[in-house]
Amino acid sequence: MADLTKVKENLEKKGFIVNVFDTGAEATAHLASEISDKTVGFGGSMTLKEIGLYEELSKNNEVVWHWKLVDYNNLFNEKTKDPSNIRAARDAAMHTDIYISSANALAETGEIVNIDGAGNRVASTLWGHSKVIFVISANKLEPNYEKAVWRARNIAAPKRAASLNKKTPCAIKVDKCYDCNSDERICRGMVTIWKPMQFQEFEVVLIQEDHGM
């Protein structure tokens, strides 16, 4: 079991609210008890999907998640999605009371790293909400910022590209990032949150159980 004591301390020193749970189910129960009668936007995230957060929060909130508009098994299949609906959902999620995202990597020193293709997820973690919540499992933890960036680029992104059947070099061997120039490149921008952005509350929900990529 990962020791999350140091990362919790470092995040708290930077001004994040931090809560630690053993399981995704406990994290979901915590967030469901904390969030009520709000508008909530979700970023694309296997972690959020795996812990069933959308279903729980939808009981007492208005939750917008573009992933709910498409077939999970064909997430980026142009034939199965309506691009105008997807865009509208991404836009709507940028203007909710609360925005929830996972992360591609977390440094024990307290930096949160995310790579994005469309940009809605990373943009929404920077501005537009009264509160931003990151739900991050211990498998995303790295000892320092450099290694967190390395993880986001060389572990999380290739796994995601492979899961989407992208025609990118990383999706074949899933061994590293090849810094490709493919039209199907999913890594278009990277954002690091060093400290909670001004004028917004930031919470980090840490989970011991493995989730996401």
Nearer to ligand SF4, 14 or 121 (CB): 121
Nearer to ligand SF4, 158 or 196 (CB): 158
Q: What is the DSSP letter of 169?
A: T
Q: Least Å distance between CB 138 and ligand SF4? A: 22
CB-CB contact of 144 with 138 (8 Å) = no
Q: Least Å distance between CB 148 and ligand SF4? A: 15
Helix (H) or strand (E) holding 106: strand 105-107
Residues of this chain that interact with ligand SF4 (CB under 6 A) are 157-158, 161, 168-170, 177-180, 182, 185-187
Q: Least Å distance between CB 202 and ligand SF4? A: 26
Q: Least Å distance between CB 172 and ligand SF4? A: 10
CA distances to 56, 166, 171, 191 from 184, in Å? 33, 6, 11, 20
Nearer to ligand SF4, 32 or 105 (CB): 105
CA distance 200 to 101: 15
Nearer to ligand SF4, 114 or 168 (CB): 168
Q: Coil, strand or helix: which one is 170?
A: helix
